[in-house]
Amino acid sequence: MSSERGQATLAVEARCALGEGATWCERTGRFYWTDIEGARLYRFDPGTGEHTSWPMPERLATFALCADPQYLLLGLATHLAFFDPATREMQRIVDVEPGLATRLNDGRCDRQGRFVFGTKYEGADGAVAGGFYRLGHDLSLERLPLPTPAISNSIGFSPDGATMYFCDSPSREILACDYGTDGAVGHIRLFARLTDGDGVPDGSTVDAEGGLWNAQWGAGRVVRYGPDGVETERVRVPVSQPSCVALGGPDLSTLYVTSARVELDAASLAAQPEAGSVFAVPTMRRGLPEPLFQGRWR
């Protein structure tokens, strides 16, 4: 049975336009996230309270920690790049969907250290034209044989790496598929369907027990589903648009939640002035260390 697990409280007052990409770095004990529309990468050290941010040359949709601690892998709106936070040097890797009215959106590394991500269609005609992709260790890019999304989200991997989770947010369904160590995908199936309220599935993370935590945009909540897709618990968030989640802290049991201000009118912003900030709540679950991208610049 599902149970209420309290309410997340303010951790970082950021007021991002579109906070996303919640990522805990176990090596440094720091929390990273992005403001997509603000084109800025953020880092917060809960031990010292230090805030750091970097402006980006275009919207930063997603990113990954790298095995080489000097770099981050950035998923910018139009391309992938390595980024050195110390020098702010960018090394462009590859363009993604050139010529299409899309931008990168959600992404996570698989358990083998390859970066899996999806795109979002931004055209005005309501078409569906995005895709899911994987950047390999050799920096080659391949499109995965998964359904074409309008807004890719909820990318994550089971603890053993044998299951991939993903969604097309407007469908309000989170899907799962078999995922081989060689990267082969197959047997796509329904994992969970949102049936109540007005929320849609956004970013997710997977805990050490195989539970998937999903930020539900528009519903002001994070929901945990067991490996069988059955809801086990909920966490309330004091803003309506939670966007992505990560389990962090010294024992990986603190749930961090990013949020957004976009699409909120003046009355909604007045009612939830902390929208766009980062929230946190202790949980009874433990997360997994974030997989590191194993590729290196040539």
Q: Burial letters for 255-280: b for 16+ Cβ neighbours within 10 Å, e otherwise?
A: bbbbbbbeebeeeeeeebebbbbbbb
Positions marked catalytic: 202
- Say whether 20 counts as a known binding-site residue: yes
Contacts of 130 (CB under 8 A, 6+ apart): 97, 100, 102, 105, 118, 119, 120, 121, 148, 149, 150, 151, 152
Q: In this predicted structure, what is the pLDDT of residue 283?
A: 96
Tell me whether strands 60-65 and 72-76 are parallel, antiparallel or unpaired: antiparallel
Residue 62 lies in a domain: no
Comparing CA positions, the residue from 269, 265, 254, 281 lying closest to residue 15 is 269
Residue 43 lies in a domain: no
The tens-digit pLDDT sequence of the chain (298 residues) is 566 668 999 999 999 999 999 999 999 999 999 999 999 999 999 999 999 999 999 999 999 999 999 999 999 999 999 999 999 999 999 999 999 999 999 999 999 999 999 999 998 887 788 999 999 999 999 999 999 999 999 999 999 999 999 999 999 999 999 999 999 999 999 999 998 777 999 999 999 999 999 999 999 999 999 999 999 999 999 999 999 999 999 999 999 999 999 999 999 999 999 999 999 999 999 999 999 999 987 6
At 132, which CATH number?
A: 2.120.10.30
Which two three-digit tokens encode residue 18?
A: 């579109």
Q: Which helix (H) or strand (E) holds 271?
A: helix 266-271
- How far from chain centre, in Å, is Cα 51? 20
Residue 288 lies in a domain: no
Comparing CA positions, the residue from 276, 296, 232, 245 lying closest to residue 3 is 232
Please tell me whether residue 169 adopts helix, strand or coil conformation: helix
Residue 23 lies in a domain: no
- Alpha-carbon dihedral 198, 202, 205, 207, rounded to 10 degrees: 10
Tell me whether strands 200-206 and 212-217 are parallel, antiparallel or unpaired: antiparallel
Residue 68 lies in a domain: no
- Say whether 202 counts as a known binding-site residue: yes
Residue 104 lies in a domain: yes
**Domain range enclosing 139:** 3-14+100-282
What is the count of structural domains for the chain? 1
Residue 230 lies in a domain: yes
Give CA separation, 181 vs 28, 110, 163, 210, 290, in Å. 28, 9, 10, 17, 17
Residue 187 lies in a domain: yes
- Say whether 105 counts as a known binding-site residue: yes
Query: Within 13 Å of residue 78, how many CA atoms lie on the same side as its CB?
Result: 8
Given a contact cutoff of 8 angstroms between Cβ atoms, the answer to whether 26 and 252 are in contact is yes
Comparing CA positions, the residue from 230, 134, 113, 149 lying closest to residue 185 is 134
Q: Does the pTM of the predicted model rise above 0.85?
A: yes
